[in-house]
Structure 1
C-alpha cells in the first residue's frame, strides 16, 4: 500500500485524540511545526543537517523526550555522535553514499577522510500535505543525493501525530524508492530509524534507565536482537517516562533487529544483518528501478515503564492495522 493510501487510514483509535486539536504549519526555515491544543508537540527540521529530523518532541507531561545536543547545549548531557539528532532516518551506504553521519561526526581524524568523500544528504523537496484537526499529518518528499547533488533514490515520508492524556504517538511511515535505476542498499550497522533519548533516561546515566524489548531482552542484551517492539524508559526531569518504538508486521524484514545502545541511541535497523551479527552472509540487497522498501513504525511517548505504558497491548492493536 502506498503512502497516499495510508494517509486515509492514519487514525488508529477514535478515542485517542478526541480531546486534542492539532495544527500543522510551515516554519520560516522551510520545515513544519506540529502543535496540539496550541502547544508545540514536535518540529520537523529540514535546514540544519544533511537530513530532516524531528526536534524537539514533547511527551504527554510536557517534558522534552530527546537529547538536545547538537541542536542545543544543555549542561550534563553527553555530547557525542552529533549526527544523533532527535528522531531521524539515515543509512551509511545507499548507492555508496552516507546519510547516517554528517561532517561533524568525523572531527579531524584523518582515518575518516574516506568516509567524508561518501557523505550524502537527504534533501527535503516538498510537502505534499500538512493538515491538522483530530490528528496532525506531515507528508513529505525527499531526495537522497550524492555530494554533487545527483539523486540516488527518493523517499516518501508520512508522519502522523496523535495525543491523549496518557500518551503521545507518532507514526513514521517511510518508503524508499529506487527512482533512478537499480541501487545497492548495503548491510550496515549504522542505518535505520533512530531516536536519541534524554541522557538521564539512558542506562549509562545510572539513574534507573532501562531498555526492554518484546522478547524480554534487556539493556545491552537487546542490541542486535530481533523484536516486535523495544522500549526505553527512565527519569526525565523528575518523572519516570518512556519511549516505545513498534515495528509493524508489514515493515521490511519484520521483526526488525535493533541497534539499541545503553548510552541512549535507539534504532530499528533491518539492514545490517551481518554487522549486527544476526547472520554471517551479507544482508545487502539490490533494489531494482521502481521497487520500494516499506518501513512502518509507531513511537509511543508514555508515562512509567513499558507495563504502565501498556506497550505490549498497544503493539497488538497496531499489528492489526493495515499500514
Structure 2
C-alpha cells in the first residue's frame, strides 16, 4: 500500500513552511515519579503527559496529553471532567493499549461502569514494575504489566517502552510494546483495539444526529448529536480517506486535526512495517475515538476476511507506534507525515 503522495490545497503547505515549522531544536525531556502510581513527563519545562497506573484503573494510561502550546488534546472525562465533555464510553481515558477479545475476555470495554456481577467477562492490565525512567534529549519510561482475569491469573506479560521527545511545536511519543504469552493466548478478531486515544471535544467531527453503539455483549451507548458549536475536527489517512470515511480503512498513518483556540492542532498515529497486519485498520470515529486496530479485519471488511492472532505459551509479539501532536499556524502536512512515517519505519 502506497503512502499518499498528493493532497488538495486545503492540506498543502510549501516546502519552505515545512522546513520552518519542523527544523526546530529538540527540547529537554524530564521524566519524574511525582506520586505513587504516577509518573510525569515534561518537555521544555512544560507539562506534556502523565503515566497513570493505579489498581483503580483497569489499564495503564497516558493522561492527560497536552500540545506544545499547552492545549489539552485528550478528553477530561472521566478523571477530570471539563465543561462540555462528552460522557460516553467511560473506558476511553487518554492514550491506552488493549483489546476487546483475548481468550474470551474483554480488556477494551472494562471500566468502573461495568456492574460487579458482569466483571468476570472482562480483563485487567496491572502494572507491577517500572523498569526504566530516564530524562534527557529523549525521555524514556519503561514498565512491566500483567494482562489478567479477575482472579489475577496471568494470560500475557507486557513490556512497554515509551520514548518521548519534542520541539517548540511538536510532541512525539514512540510506544514499543511486547506481549509474551504466559499461557496459550488467542486474540480473536474484534472491532475494539488496540492503540486507543480519546480526543478533546474540539477534535470531534460535528454530527447533527444521535449515534448508537452496541458492543459485543449488547451494552448500548448513545452519543448525542445536535447543535455542536465546539467540534470542528476531521480525519485524513495516508491513502487520502477523509472525515468519517477514514473508519475501517487501512493506512500507514492517520491524523485528526482541527482548530483549538488560535492554533491548528493535529494528532497523527503512525504504524510500523513490522507490526502484525501492516498497514493497520483505522478505528477512527467522529465522536472522538481515534484507534489503530490491526486485528479487527472481519468487521472492517464486512466479513470478507479476518485476522486472528495466536500466541503459544512463551511466544511474543511486538507492536510499535509513533504519535505526533503538533500545534501551530498550520496542521501537519502530508509530505511531512510521509517522511516521518518513512523514518519511523526504519527504527527497530
TM-score for both structures, normalised by structure 2: 0.82
Q: CA deviation at 1:317?
A: 2.0
Q: Residues 17 and 135 of structure 1 are in contact (CA less than 8 Å); yes or no, is this contact kept in structure 2? A: no
Among 289, 314, 317, the residue aligned to 2:340? 314
Among 126, 133, 136, the residue aligned to 1:133? 136
Q: CA deviation at 1:106?
A: 4.4
> Is 1:254 equivalent to 2:261 in the alignment?
no
CA distance in 1, matches of 2:89, 2:74: 14
CA distance in 1, matches of 2:34, 2:300: 38
Other structure's SS at 2:300 match: coil
Among 82, 102, 106, the residue aligned to 1:74? 82
Gaps of 5+ in 1: 1-14
Q: CA deviation at 1:40?
A: 1.5
Which runs of structure 2 are paired with 1:99-138 in the superposition (5 Å)?
99-106=107-114, 116-138=119-141
> Is 1:63 equivalent to 2:71 in the alignment?
yes
Q: Once superposed, what is the RMSD of the aligned Cα atoms?
A: 2.1
Other structure's SS at 1:212 match: strand
The residue number in structure 2 matching 1:199 is 201
Among 242, 263, 273, the residue aligned to 2:287? 263
> Larger C-alpha radius of gyration, 1 or 2?
2
TM-score for both structures, normalised by structure 1: 0.88
1:21–1:309: structure 2 CA closer, same or farther, 3 Å change rule? Answer: farther
> Is 1:229 equivalent to 2:253 in the alignment?
yes
The residue number in structure 2 matching 1:24 is 31
CA distance in 2, matches of 1:254, 1:73: 35
Q: Residues 271 and 278 of structure 2 are in contact (CA less than 8 Å); yes or no, is this contact kept in structure 1? A: yes
Q: Residues 28 and 44 of structure 2 are in contact (CA less than 8 Å); yes or no, is this contact kept in structure 1? A: yes
Q: CA deviation at 1:316?
A: 2.1
Q: Which moved more, 1:46-55 or 1:204-213?
A: 204-213
Gaps of 5+ in 2: 1-21, 207-227
CA distance in 2, matches of 1:239, 1:294: 35
> Is 1:95 equivalent to 2:103 in the alignment?
yes
CA distance in 1, matches of 2:96, 2:39: 15
1:217–1:308: structure 2 CA closer, same or farther, 3 Å change rule? Answer: closer
CA shift digits 1:248-307 (9 cap, x unpaired): 111121100110001111000011110222643442232112222211110000133232
> Is 1:85 equivalent to 2:110 in the alignment?
no
CA shift digits 1:99-129 (9 cap, x unpaired): 1112434479xxxx65x32111100010110
CA shift digits 1:135-170 (9 cap, x unpaired): 111111100010111111111111110011121100
CA shift digits 1:189-223 (9 cap, x unpaired): 01100111111111125643110100000111111
